[in-house]
Copies of this chain bind each other. A is one copy, B any other.
Amino acid sequence: MKFKNFPMVPRVIFGAGSFKQLGEILLPKRKSSDTPVIYLVDAIFENQEISKQIPVLFSDQIIYVSTDEEPKTEQVDALVSLLKTNYPELPAAIVGIGGGSILDLAKAVAIMLTNKGKAEDYQGWDLVKNPAIYHVGVPTLSGTGAEVSRTAVLSGPEKKLGINSDYTPFDQVVLDPDLTINVEKDQWFYTGMDCFIHCIESLNGTYLNAFSQSYGEKALDLCKEVFLEDIDSSSARDKLMMASWHGGMSIAYSQVGVAHAISYGLSHVLGIKHGIGNCLVFQYLEEFYPEGVALFSKMMDKHNIILPKGICKNLSENQLNTMIKVAMAMTPLWENALGANWQDTITESKLKSIYKKI
């Protein structure tokens, strides 16, 4: 048996208000006033308080990025080309400030600044040759685990698949729960459920070991506290940020499972975002995760969340088949969830029946 030598984020700062220390953290990385720090920031923060706190110096640049759609390989290539054109030298740092989409984009841009070709060439496992530019992750949403993972999930022309490599994780993460204060309620719930579903999939997977289990159990406990107990909002922000962190770590030696595989299909064909996509799928997975789905229903009830219905009602056969094809291709996820003989359980007609309910 071969064990993975897992890369961890080597620096983390935690605390409400810790974002104010970003300038100080970046200072030693600035070699000269010509090597800028590039901030990739969710466009919803344009003219918001968070943006005013960004420590812009010299030739630094803030690039606001819309997250209406999930990040694409083309978008990465365009950003890299822009930075190479605008600056004579490579940036001193890439800083992603936003949810999972922005964090994944920042990781991918940092990698592609030092690796030839197109981002789509690196979708897969361990294809990256050169270390990335120093990159920093500042999550403003809790649940995706993107702040700690070794993947940068991108939609490419051919597939939605992460750049999974030892160079992908951030060099530094800033965990400031105050940055999540203004998250809109549905978004808060869906992204939190991304973490919850990670945990359920990881803890019920065949790949599980004691390392992943300990992180997954803690993240699950924290999700239960946040979504089922009555705790004050400041503690809830703290705890959900830690849940996301531990939930991301729990996939280190494990994998996600059925919900993620099926949700990738949804998002590929309909552009449905990851958090809500997982929820749309997960509600129909009693067969695979009975306890998890029961907890999920309780959480939905407690927070009066109503999921949209009829999403797949008017799909063409062609679209449905593409969804099924994308989902079926997620072999490691199915293997983790159901073992080597997963194809005994997961057939095209099975997937079709699940998609039809959504």
Q: Report chain B residues within 8 Å CB of A172.
A: 5
Which B residues are CB-close (under 8 A) to A218?
214-215, 217-218, 246
Tell me the minimal C-beta distance from A21 to chain B in angstroms: 6
| Chain B residues in 8 Å Cβ range of A210 | 14, 177, 235, 238-239, 241-242
On whether A211 and B11 interact (CB within 8 A), knowing A2-B21, A21-B3, A25-B5, the answer reads no
- Across the interface, which residues of B come within 8 angstroms of A4, CB to CB? 13
A187 at the interface (CB under 8 A from B): no
Of B8, B241, B242, B246, which one neighbours A10 at CB under 8 angstroms? B8
A284 at the interface (CB under 8 A from B): no
- The answer for the CA separation of A175 and B7 in the assembled complex, in Å, is 14
A15 sits at the interface (CB 8 A): yes
Contact status A175-B11, CB under 8 Å:
no
**CB proximity of A199 to chain B, nearest CB, Å:** 13
Q: Does A326 contact B (CB under 8 A)?
A: no
A90 at the interface (CB under 8 A from B): no
* Chain B min CB distance to A233 (Å): 13
Determine if A11 and B7 form an interchain contact, defined as CB atoms under 8 angstroms apart: yes
CA distance A13 to B5 in the complex (A): 4
**A and B contact pairs by CB, cutoff 8 A, 23 listed:** A1-B15, A1-B17, A2-B21, A5-B12, A5-B13, A6-B11, A6-B12, A8-B8, A10-B10, A12-B211, A14-B209, A14-B210, A14-B253, A15-B209, A15-B211, A15-B253, A210-B235, A210-B238, A210-B241, A210-B242, A214-B242, A214-B246, A217-B218
In order of increasing CB-CB distance, the 8 nearest A-B pairs are: A210-B238, A10-B10, A14-B211, A3-B15, A218-B218, A214-B242, A3-B18, A5-B13
A residues contacting B by CB (< 8 A) are: 1-15, 17-18, 21, 25, 172, 175, 177, 209-211, 214-215, 217-218, 221-222, 235, 238-239, 241-243, 246, 253
